Amino acid sequence: MAIDAELERKLREQVDRSEIWRVMQKYGRGLDRLDKPLALSCYWEDAIEDHGNYVGHPSDFIDWADQSTLAFQSSQHGLLNHSCDLQGDDAYCETYYLFSGVTGGPTNFMSTGRYIDHFQKRDGVWKIANRVCIIEGKFDVPASQFGADLPEAYTPEEPCQAARDRTDVSYHRPPVPRRPKQLA
């Protein structure tokens, strides 16, 4: 059974959008896990990253970002609203982000903004051709007292499985949970 041209066009568009979104997710994960090869795989070799006070090659930006985020115990890039204007093998995207960095002190750091991206599909692969990151807000966020009366989730005997490298539980196949335990 053959599919009609309109359905085939819609399916191709959905696949393209999905592949672009996957690149965005790989980028955030690469930065948060300090996985430079993963983050760098999101860009074409000739891409330019315009990110606040940095403008240049993505490889140098990722080195800078990794060093900057080492000041945090952990970081997360939350990807929010995403629009994507497909035009053949070019796509023009806007993705809102929320970045948080846990300091371990009385305040944590958060920033908000948007990635304005030009994606290109070359040889059937979507990657970032150029990016302008618009940083719209920077905030110090007080450490929460929420849950102060709850027992600690992790102990020295059973530490948190989060790591900022390939030892992080998200790289394990399959992920291995800690031993079952009762709530106090």
* Mean pLDDT of the 6-34 span: 96
Long-range contacts of range 58-61, CB-CB < 8 Å, 24 or more positions apart? 58/128, 58/131
166 assigned to some structural domain:
no
CATH code of the domain covering residue 28: 3.10.450.50
The strand pair at 107-122 and 90-102 is best described as: antiparallel
CA dihedral (37, 41, 43, 46) in degrees, to 10, reads 70
**Is residue 71 situated within a structural domain?**
yes
Q: How many structural domains compose the chain?
A: 1
101 assigned to some structural domain = yes
- Establish if 92 belongs to a structural domain: yes
Cis ω for the linkage preceding 174 (within 30 of 0): yes
Residue 157 in this model has a pLDDT that exceeds 90 = no
CA distance 172 to 68: 26
How confident is the prediction for the chain on average, in pLDDT? 91
Q: Which two tokens stand for residue 143?
A: 């450490």
Q: How far apart are CA 65 and CA 70, in angstroms?
A: 9
Q: Which of 43-47, 150-154, 157-161 has the lowest mean pLDDT?
A: 150-154
Instruction: Tell me which residue of 144, 159, 131, 36 sits closest to 100, measured CA to CA.
Output: 144
Asked if 78 and 100 touch (Cβ cutoff 8 Å), the reply is yes
44-93, pLDDT tens digit by residue?
A: 999 999 998 899 999 999 999 999 888 899 999 999 999 999 999 999 99
Tell me the pLDDT tens digit for each residue of 15-27. Answer: 999 999 999 999 9
Question: What does pTM read for this prediction?
Answer: 0.88
| 160 in a structural domain | no
Here the tokens at position 96 are 């809102």
Is residue 63 within 8 Å of 40, Cβ to Cβ?
A: no
Contact 140, 102 (CB under 8 A): no
Question: What is the domain extent for residue 33?
Answer: 5-147
* Residue 168 lies inside a defined structural domain of this protein: no
Is position 158 within any domain?
no
Q: What number is the average pLDDT over the span 22-50?
A: 97
Quick check: is 26 in a domain?
yes
Residue 58 structure tokens: 């993505």
Q: Which of 55-59, 127-131, 152-156 shows the lowest per-residue confidence on average (mean pLDDT)?
A: 152-156
